[in-house]
Structure 1
Amino acid sequence: MSVIKKFSEFFSTAALHYRAYKILIRNKRSYLYTTAWMQSLAEGKPIDNSQNAIPWMNFNIVELLDQRLNKNLNLFEFGSGYSTYFYADRVKCVTSLEYDSHWYQLLKPQVAENVKLIFQQEDIDGDYCRVIVKQQQKFDVVVVDGRDRVNCIKQSFASLSEQGVILLDDSQRERYQEGIELAEAEGFRVLHMSGLKATGGRAHRTTILYRDGNCLGI
């Protein structure tokens, strides 16, 4: 490759990078700002433009949940965190399961009154995935975003209300496909939602497992 061609390619790439910088970074109306991606990156945590916590999921699913969740719903989540604050503001009750004792102790004094925070050490096809069954109640939304996700999906079926849905985060990972197939065998339909998430640099996917008459209206 000639020196002239190398310089030409270098300047073409530099020009492209500068255009991207102008469109996405300098432009305060760009997607990175309207979704609070830039703000989240600066803070090192998932937040919206009002500094409120959001789930560490892609912005498309976060927007859907923000629009469709309501104060008549009971929600169970495998994996506590910033999402717990978000759900507590939007549903009737949140039951949140955490396996990390340090994170559990940090969250416990901060969660809202409508949050039941549970600690359970992680295991495989053991007590962790069965905590939802031990609650002996029906949930309208089950968020699977913790450990042992395939078994968590399996144990969630009996704990869903008639309008219940299951959300599986990071569903692009091959090891979670078995859980989606199990849900399909139980009569659930599948909706994949992908996109950028707070502080992330690539597409992430969340899958909604749903039936007719579900609480999200899909």
Structure 2
Amino acid sequence: MNMSVIKKISEFFSTAALHYRAYKILIRNKRSYLYTTAWMQSLAEGKPIDNSQNAIPWMNFNIVELLDQRLNKNLNLFEFGSGYSTYFYADRVRCVTSLEYDSHWYQLLKPQVAENVKLIFQQEDIDGDYCRVIVKQQQKFDVVVVDGRDRVNCIKQSFASLSEQGVILLDDSQRERYQEGIELAEAEGFRVLHMSGLKATGGRAHRTTILYRDGNCLGI
């Protein structure tokens, strides 16, 4: 048997041993991160949930934990993009205004949302009516979550609708096409905090960016 074959066999068994160790530490171990964050349960059910089967935003677990700790019933929240996050926010803030562009998803959610949720349907477009729905509400929001379409323009339109303690959360901010939105916020005097990690059912790092100023409602 030549050396190259021996080397390949050795590499195969080394990799197999490593995979078994990872399986034993993360999958078989019920106290591992995959279980304590309900990643395994979310994967099994195909939706983002916690260990009590409650819906959570489809964001990385680090930002979800922060929001769970810092959101409170004195806050008004606007989100571009409704879904499981809408249930989560409704349980934690005074009121939620949630914008949806998918008519099927809108019709599915509408009869299920809580009384403190205002669900709005608006077809998606670029720098048009969709991103300006927040301005049309003619009120100030303490938290704006940008997790729908046309995200750079949604950030731009959100500035005037923020309360003095308001923050903007940009999900999937690792995507290069959203960098412009972060730069626009910095030009407006916002600081930037990136939070990355695994999210429910995901297999790689996802990032959410908090755009904030002094005296913000999240205490950052």
Normalised-by-shorter TM-score class: over 0.9
CA deviation string 1:124-154 (max 9, x = no partner): 0000000000000000000000000000000
Distance in 2 separating the partners of 1:193 and 1:5:
41
C-alpha displacement of 1:3: 1.5
Tell me, in whole angstroms, the C-alpha distance in 1 between the residues paired with 2:177 and 2:163: 27
* TM-superposition CA deviations, 1:192-215 (whole Å, max 9, x none): 000000000000000000000000
Q: List per-residue Cα deviations over 1:66-102 (Å, max 9, x = no partner).
A: 0000000000000000000000000000000000000
C-alpha distance in structure 1 between counterparts of 2:4 and 2:103, whole Å: 60
* Distance in structure 2 (CA, Å) of the matches to 1:5 and 1:204: 36
Equivalent in 177, 194, 197 of residue 195 of structure 1: 197
- Counterpart-to-counterpart distance in 1, 2:119 and 2:105: 11
2:107 match: secondary structure: helix
Gaps (5+ residues) in structure 1? none
Q: Where do 1:104-183 residues align within 5 Å?
A: 104-183=106-185
Instruction: After TM superposition, give the deviation of residue 27 of structure 1 in Å.
Output: 0.2
| Counterpart-to-counterpart distance in 1, 2:158 and 2:7 | 59
Q: CA deviation at 1:115?
A: 0.1
Cα distance in 1 for partners of 2:185, 2:157 equals 11
Q: What SS is found at the alignment partner of 2:56?
A: coil
CA distance in 2, matches of 1:56, 1:4: 45
**Separation of aligned partners in 1, 2:4 and 2:56:** 51
Deviation at 1:172, TM superposition (A): 0.2
Aligned sequence identity (%): 99
SS at match of 1:192: strand
CA distance in 2, matches of 1:2, 1:68: 57
1:91 and 1:135 map into 2 onto residues whose CA distance is 18
Distance between the aligned counterparts of 2:196 and 2:20, measured in 1?
27
Q: Structure 2-normalised TM-score?
A: 0.99
Cα drift, residue 4 of structure 1: 1.3
Q: Deviations over 1:130-184 (max 9, x none)?
A: 0000000000000000000000000000000000000000000000000000000
| Partners of 1:11 and 1:41 in 2: CA distance | 29
Work out the CA distance in 2 between the residues paired with 1:6 and 1:80.
50
How much is the aligned-residue C-alpha RMSD, in angstroms? 0.5
Q: Could you say what secondary structure the match of 2:144 adopts?
A: strand
Displacement after TM superposition at 1:2 (Å): 1.9
Q: Alpha-carbon deviation of 1:54?
A: 0.1
C-alpha distance in 2 between matches for 1:133 and 1:34 = 39
TM-score for both structures, normalised by structure 1: 1.00
SS at structure 2 position matched to 1:45: coil
Q: Residue 5 of structure 1: CA displacement?
A: 1.1
Structure 2 distance, partners of 1:88, 1:9, is 51
Unpaired runs of 5+ residues, structure 2, are none
Is the partner of 1:2 in helix, strand or coil? helix
Runs of 4+ off more than 3 Å: none
CA distance in 2, matches of 1:214, 1:121: 31
Deviation, structure 1 residue 60: 0.1
Cα distance in 2 for residues equivalent to 1:185 and 1:9: 51
